[in-house]
Amino acid sequence: MSVVLAGGGTAGHVEPAMAVADALRSIDPRVRITALGTERGLETRLVPQRGYDLRLITPVPLPRKLNADLARLPLRVRRAVRETRAVFDDVRADVVIGFGGYVALPAYLAARGGLRRNRVPVLIHEANARAGIANKVGARGATEVLAALPDCGLAGAEVVGMPVRAAIAELDRPGLRAAARAHFGFAPDARVLLVFGGSQGAASLNRAVSGAAADLAARGVSVLHAHGPKNTLELPEPAAGDPPYVAVGYLDRMDLAYAAADLVICRSGAMTVAEVSAVGLPAVYVPLPIGNGEQRLNALPVVGGGGGLLVDDAELSPAYVAGPVADLLTDDARLAAMTSAVAAIAAGDAAGRVAGAALDIAVANREKNR
């Protein structure tokens, strides 16, 4: 079987695609897996690292305003569709799994076939609580539509959860905690706050937490802060005996970061919420204040279930971190209750369900075209 994955651009699109790729290989090691991407996306690094074939096409960002990009859109779409059809022909694609993003729309259009080519069936997975434009277009001709959350805006979508890589879904946080804390230089019994704002960091999170560094140290809280490779933090000189404040540009070992932490402050992109929930980590979610509001919606099921807090970006301040966040970190009973709540919310094997559905579609398509 030949499966094409269309989900490039951000980690929120690439990571679920890679989780499904791993699940496909687990079901059948003979499956040929090809990932579509663009030269500007994270997939240029993440896909080869995971050992999968990456084919680059012209990116098709969908402008939200009337501007020059909108005028160039038809030409970009035609070029990207032509390039994608060439990939389909080369790998003899049996099914396309789309996750949204820059490469998804050309893949959906190319899969429709034409006078001289067979249609390639499409399976869509929508990660966010509010579907994006590409998946809304693709869903109209898709064989099957799956979603991470209910009421995503795609008619007939079956809720299966968010595909998460096995290394995260199967993470034994308690068993790995001592080794993880030693890796980052924390004491075995430390209270650890993990902070990250996506692959590029988040300036508002950086300001709020670094601004509370002295207060957190006074409360005995250690910090592991991924501030983004292009950002820096201004931190006070630590006093003798202060717990460590470990600041890094990027975390290559998120499994160890999750295992070391008692609580996380983070954005609430669909992939972030899914991973944090899968490992059973309580969270303070700070939705990105731009976009169509999907980040707030992504976090609501966890927050409503008692596994997290929701704080507006404008409300996250050094005083909030030094107050309510530090209070939570030093409250054993409340942390334990939130941890139990997250564990009850976490989804099952979404990656396996998406992979299995795709292979079923591919088999049916081959039978039909015999």
Residue 9 is labelled as binding a ligand = no
The string of DSSP letters for 140-192 reads TT-SEEEESSS--S-TTPEE------HHHHT--HHHHHHHHHHHHT--TT-EE
Cα 175 to Cα 328: distance, rounded to the nearest angstrom? 23
Encoding tokens for residue 75? 């030409």
Please list, in sequence order, all residues whose beta carbon lies within 8 angstroms of the beta carbon of residue 105, skipping any fewer than 6 positions away: 60, 62, 77, 80, 133, 134, 137, 138
Cα(7)–Cα(123) distance, integer angstroms: 12
Residue environment code for 156-182, b if the CB has 16+ CB neighbours within 10 A, otherwise e: ebeebbbbbbeebbebebeebbeebbe
Contact between 269 and 244 (Cβ < 8 Å): no
User: Exposed, middle or buried, 119 (CB in 10 Å: 0-12/13-18/19+)?
Assistant: middle
- Determine whether the annotation assigns residue 128 to a binding site: yes
DSSP letter string over 191-251? EEEEEE-STT--HHHHHHHHHTHHHHHHTTEEEEEE--TT-----PPPPTTPPPEEEES--
Q: Tell me: is residue 165 an annotated ligand-binding position.
A: yes
Phi first, then psi: give them for residue 6, nearest 5 degrees: -120, 100
- The CB density around residue 367, as the number of other CB atoms within 10 Å, is 8
CA 129, CA 135: separation in Å to the nearest integer? 12
199 is in an annotated binding site: yes
Residue 144, phi then psi, degrees to nearest 5: -150, 145
Pairing type for strands 245-248 and 308-310 reads: unpaired
Residue positions forming the annotated binding site: 10-12, 128, 165, 199, 295
Residue positions forming the annotated binding site for UDP-N-acetyl-alpha-D-glucosamine: 10-12, 128, 165, 199, 295
